[in-house]
Amino acid sequence: MPETAPISAVPLKRDDIPGWFFSLDRAAFGHLLSAQSAAGVTGDILELGSYLGRSAVLLGDHLRPGERLTVCDLFDSEAGDEDNAAEMDMSYRKTLTRSAFEANYLAFHRELPEIVQAPTSVLADGRIPAGSCRFVHVDASHLYEHVAGDVSVARAALTENGLVALDDYRSEHTPGVSAAVWEAVFTGGLRPVLLTPMKFYGTWGDVAAARRVLLERDWQAEGYTVDEDTIAGVRVLRLNYRVKAPVQRSASRRLALELLPPVATKATRRMLRTLRERRAVPPVPSA
Ligand SMILES: C[S@@+](CC[C@H](N)C(=O)[O-])C[C@H]1O[C@@H](n2cnc3c(N)ncnc32)[C@H](O)[C@@H]1O
């Protein structure tokens, strides 16, 4: 489900745009793109899979003079194969139109990006100049064949030390993405830099430099956890949300919740709520 419910009105803030681009990855994109700009790294930005523009709007925020954002999405066009059509029907058809994307994007930027309304496979024709992009976001089909193609497009499009972010590399419902991503690592020279719950970040270039850039920020102070793993000899950072401490419950309440069947605990909660509303008992933390 998208993070916010689909809306037809013009979004007032970026969070109003429905989509799957969550705050941790927004922070990681912002940090990596700003660091590139601060270091004088120039290049275009490419997004495969934009939906209603939630991530594209942020990518557009980071364009410097002379740089171009290209987005590629089917929007309201037909998919090229049955499986992709099924994916579109299941997740996007009811809410997605190109005009809705455009309206959302123009709520935050004066000009639209370059829009390719087609399957991402068309980008294999070289219309994105080789070595022209500093950042590529791959977030389109979840099918292995498509993602493997998208990874190749990203590789060809990226500058030597450019970065790729690959969405849904570990979700239970997207094994094809996992297969394509780790295949690129083990047989295609892609080096992991950062893993978040939603996205894999990597480069075919200087992995140590990308890592240094990430470590310049005090993520922990901002409420994230930072961990480190070594995968086939490459050190990889992991960022996640810090989980809030569980709500403390009194021993008797804990025991009641553990022992009573769910229907009974629901009824107990309802009764307590009613009593509380009548100010008969003090509030207790909700489950
Ligand atoms: C998960 S959504 C993108 C979410 C968006 N990046 C965000 O953060 O809100 C996936 C998008 O990929 C598009 N898509 C699916 N298969 C595609 C294909 N073969 N070629 C191009 N776009 C495709 C869908 O239309 C949908 O808009």
The closest residue, in CA terms, to atom 6 on ligand 1 is: 50
For residue 229, is it within any domain? yes
Regarding predicted confidence, which is higher, 169 or 265? 169
- Predicted pLDDT at 9: 81
- Predicted pLDDT at 259: 52
- Same structural domain for residues 119 and 203? yes
**pTM of the predicted model as reported, rounded to 2 decimal places:** 0.86
- Predicted pLDDT at 256: 54
- Predicted pLDDT at 243: 87
With the most atoms of ligand 1 within 8 angstroms of its CB, the residue from 26, 29, 50 to mutate is 50
Distance CA 232, CA 249 (A): 44
Residue 15: C-alpha distances to residues 75, 106, 196, 239, 243 (Å) = 20, 15, 20, 21, 22
pLDDT band at 96 (very low <50, low <70, confident <90, very high): very high
Q: With 90 as the cut, is the pLDDT of residue 136 above it?
A: yes
For residue 8, is it within any domain? no
Q: Is 134 in the pocket of ligand 1 (CB under 6 A)?
A: no
Q: With 60 as the cut, is the pLDDT of residue 34 above it?
A: yes
For residue 146, is it within any domain? yes
The residue out of 241, 264, 279 marking a domain boundary is 241
- Same structural domain for residues 146 and 100? yes
The residue out of 225, 241, 257 marking a domain boundary is 241
Which atom of ligand 1 is the closest one to the Cα of 141? Answer: 16
Distance CA 144, CA 221 (A): 37
In this structure, what CATH number is given to the domain that contains residue 160?
A: 3.40.50.150
Q: Is 92 in the pocket of ligand 1 (CB under 6 A)?
A: yes
Taking residues 121-136, what's their average pLDDT?
97
Distance CA 129, CA 5 (A): 36
- Same structural domain for residues 137 and 95? yes
- Same structural domain for residues 160 and 279? no
Helix (H) or strand (E) holding 83: helix 82-91
- Same structural domain for residues 263 and 158? no
Taking residues 77-102, what's their average pLDDT?
97
pLDDT single digits (tens) 153-162: 999 999 999 9
Taking residues 124-129, what's their average pLDDT?
96
For residue 5, is it within any domain? no
Taking the centre of ligand 1 as the mean of its atom positions, its distance from the CA of residue 51, in whole angstroms, is 5
**3-state helix/strand/coil string of 12-50:** CCHHHCCCCCCHHHHHHHHHHHHHHHHCCCCCEEEEECC
- Same structural domain for residues 144 and 64? yes
pLDDT single digits (tens) 223-275: 999 999 999 899 999 999 998 777 666 666 655 555 555 445 565 565 555 45
- Same structural domain for residues 232 and 261? no
Taking residues 101-112, what's their average pLDDT?
98
Which atom of ligand 1 is the closest one to the Cα of 119? Answer: 20
For residue 9, is it within any domain? no
- Predicted pLDDT at 239: 98
- Same structural domain for residues 169 and 260? no
The closest residue, in CA terms, to atom 22 on ligand 1 is: 73
- Same structural domain for residues 202 and 273? no
Q: What is the percent of the chain where pLDDT is above 90?
A: 80
Taking the centre of ligand 1 as the mean of its atom positions, its distance from the CA of residue 211, in whole angstroms, is 28
For residue 2, is it within any domain? no
- Count of domains forming the chain: 2
For residue 124, is it within any domain? yes
- Same structural domain for residues 207 and 286? no
Taking residues 78-93, what's their average pLDDT?
97
- Same structural domain for residues 180 and 255? no
Q: Is 142 in the pocket of ligand 1 (CB under 6 A)?
A: no
Q: Is 144 in the pocket of ligand 1 (CB under 6 A)?
A: no
Distance CA 252, CA 13 (A): 45
- Predicted pLDDT at 281: 36
Taking residues 159-169, what's their average pLDDT?
98
Q: Is 50 in the pocket of ligand 1 (CB under 6 A)?
A: yes
Range of the domain at 77: 14-241
Distance CA 178, CA 175 (A): 5
For residue 104, is it within any domain? yes
Q: Is 73 in the pocket of ligand 1 (CB under 6 A)?
A: yes
Which atom of ligand 1 is the closest one to the Cα of 2? Answer: 9
Taking residues 77-85, what's their average pLDDT?
97
Phi, then psi, of 110 in degrees rounded to 5: -70, -35
pLDDT band at 285 (very low <50, low <70, confident <90, very high): very low
Taking the centre of ligand 1 as the mean of its atom positions, its distance from the CA of residue 226, in whole angstroms, is 29
- Same structural domain for residues 171 and 94? yes
Taking the centre of ligand 1 as the mean of its atom positions, its distance from the CA of residue 85, in whole angstroms, is 12
Taking residues 147-168, what's their average pLDDT?
98
Average pLDDT, the chain: 89
